[in-house]
Amino acid sequence: MSDLKTAPSRGAKAAGATADYLDQRTGVGNAVKFFARKVFPDHWSFFLGEIALYSFVTLLISGVFLTLFFVPSMAETHYEGPWPSMNGVEMSEAFSSTLRLSFEVRGGLLMRQIHHWAALIFMASIVVHMFRVFFTGAFRKPREINWVVGFVLLILGLAAGFSGYSLPDDVLSGNGLRITDGVVKAIPIIGSYLSYFIFGGEFPGTDLIPRLFTVHILLVPGLILALIGLHLFLMVMHKHTQYPGSGRSNTNVVGYPALPAYAGKLLFNFFVVFGVIALMAGTMSINPVWNYGPYDPSPVSAGAQPDWYMLFLEGSLRLMPGGTEIMLGSYTLSLNVIIPAMIVPGILFTLLGAYPFIEAFATGDKSEHHVLDRPRNRPFRTAFGVSLLVAFGILVLAGSNDLIATHFHMSINDITWAFRVLIFVGPWLAFLITKRICLGLQRKDRELVLHGHETGRIVRYASGEYIEVHKPLDAHERWLRVQHEAIRPLEIEPAEDSRGVRRKGYKADRLRQRLSQLFYEDRVEPVTPAELAAAHAAHGHHDDHAVETPHGVPAQVGAGAPASETAADERNH
């Protein structure tokens, strides 16, 4: 029986000819082969970065629609439209076009709310993704530059959110711009000149909305797109990090190939994210500017908070006591604005952005890392990250002190003073408690490796001795708890050499040693093969009652781990 061959269709021929044309002129075929063989680990936390990417795509799609109808002008007009309470009210063209978008353009309100919810989720996913990277040590060599890229993306996200939030020119956004004007004017010497430059004159001026519009739709999105491309390029170049486990090392990636499995999952995740944002936009109202009215500096009320990612700055300003101004000649140094609006955020962001380099300096570690840390195995880093989150959370709550006072019928002065104390005490307590928890979990891991899981089964020997039978860990569990490297404080050479001459660079080495002691002096060493052998020898007379495991006798600690994964294995070349 002869084989029947079906002639390719005209569409298939056209697609093949097009692919061949592009491949001969761009070499795209090699790129497709490379990405098709690229392996990605499968873990839910890696989805956090995808949420940020898909939220940004949603922002671009909805932003293009809004740009077609929004009028970025501060020219005065009188509103006439379907919202009766605003008829005849004098307002800017920006606010008037926002009302038209909300009530007259088909789908305009839905798009406005999709855009706003996507912005909130974009910032939230960036923050959570960054702290996933932070707590697992994914910023270590060779990914320090990628950490800096992600940090700059966070700053640009704040700029994009603030500039877009201010465009409608309503009372709420106008109050935020008024605070911004005050912060800018508090800058010594150049503050007033810088304010005139930004606002095109005395606040509010006539040029701010058009300038913010240009920043929001052109400058910041362009930079974000470029940095996202760089971020993804560095991720592909460095390989993907993976969580510790048997069969996973710094020389491989255990997971699924990009095509077809992972590509289909990425596409599905995009539609999930877009669908959730659209559902939120269709059912949950956000930023109803028609209730606020156009910007007017006279109305002041409780409940005027910015979006959550800027609320920490509002809280910092509210916590700062008044009366902290210093006269330097003819200049007034407004510490009550400079400290909360510049110094406090500057400290928080500087520590976050520079942390990978500080940790590398403290450890002296110059090797590459592609396997992630378990947060419990890096107590100082984990405690430091939690303390930053606690400080951020306290500032966010402080930014809502008026809402807390009105909802719970409490004194706003008492609430403010409580937060003033907490901003100093809370992060410190969070650091100590988190560090002790991490050390306790490490001790628990040692106990499990040496003695196994408690079974609750009590056995009595003929001698009258009672023991509890423990279930030994299988090879996979044991490897997870002993695979991490034990990092100890650095040892340095003495201050003087054998001839009594003071050594150059001793002060820098001493600083590095103290920093290393701060990081790693409190630690729990992982179980060594010798300790495990001694523990087995001590419990040898209990072996007759040991619980059998499905994997048999576990492998020796430190000797390696079984590679039982069925997924693809990507090797370095």
Q: What is the DSSP string of 169-188?
A: -BHHHHHHHHHHHHHHHTST
For residue 111, the model assigns a pLDDT of 96
- Contacts from 127-134 at CB under 8 Å and sequence distance 24+? 127/154, 127/309, 128/48, 129/48, 129/49, 129/51, 129/52, 130/154, 130/352, 131/385, 131/389, 132/45, 132/48, 134/352, 134/355, 134/381, 134/385
Residues 342, 191: Cα–Cα separation, whole Å: 13
Of 202, 131, 168, which is closest to residue 307 (Cα–Cα)?
Answer: 168
Backbone angles phi, psi at 224, to 5 degrees: -65, -45
How distant is the alpha carbon of residue 113 from its chain centre? 24
> Please, are residues 248 and 254 in contact by the beta-carbon 8 Å criterion?
yes
For residue 3, the model assigns a pLDDT of 54
Residues 189, 332: Cα–Cα separation, whole Å: 9
Beta strands in 226-342 (DSSP E): 252-257, 325-328, 331-334
* CA pseudo-torsion sign 76, 80, 86, 88: positive
Beta strands in 331-435 (DSSP E): 331-334
Which residues, in sequence order, are CB contacts of 204 under 8 Å at separation 6+?
Answer: 74, 174, 177, 178, 181, 295
Give the pTM: 0.86
> For the stretch 20-48, what's the b/e string if a residue is b when 16 or more beta carbons lie within 10 angstroms of its beta carbon?
eeeeeeeeeeeeeeeeeebbbbeeeebbb
The greatest distance separating any two alpha carbons of the chain, rounded to the nearest whole angstrom, comes to 103
Could you give all domains of the chain from N- to C-terminal order, each with its CATH number? 37-246+253-361 (1.20.810.10), 434-568 (no CATH)
* CA 183 to each of CA 54, 105, 190, 191, 332: distance values in angstroms, whole numbers, following the listed order: 34, 37, 12, 8, 13
> Please, are residues 435 and 379 in contact by the beta-carbon 8 Å criterion?
yes
For residue 572, the model assigns a pLDDT of 40
Q: Where are the alpha helices (DSSP H) in 452-572?
A: 475-482, 506-520, 529-538
Residues 216, 189: Cα–Cα separation, whole Å: 28
For residue 331, the model assigns a pLDDT of 76
Residues 164, 63: Cα–Cα separation, whole Å: 10
Q: Which one-letter amino acid corresponds to residue 234?
A: L
Mean pLDDT in consecutive groups of 10 residues from the start of the chain, 573 residues? 63 77 74 73 88 96 95 92 88 93 93 96 95 94 94 95 92 87 87 88 86 94 95 87 85 80 84 96 92 82 82 91 76 84 89 92 86 92 95 93 91 94 96 96 91 85 82 86 84 74 79 87 85 74 46 39 41 40
Q: How many CB atoms lie within 10 A of CB 473?
A: 23
For residue 374, the model assigns a pLDDT of 92
For residue 159, the model assigns a pLDDT of 93
How many residues in the chain? 573
Q: Which one-letter amino acid corresponds to residue 299?
A: P
> Please, are residues 149 and 230 in contact by the beta-carbon 8 Å criterion?
yes
For residue 424, the model assigns a pLDDT of 94
For residue 9, the model assigns a pLDDT of 76
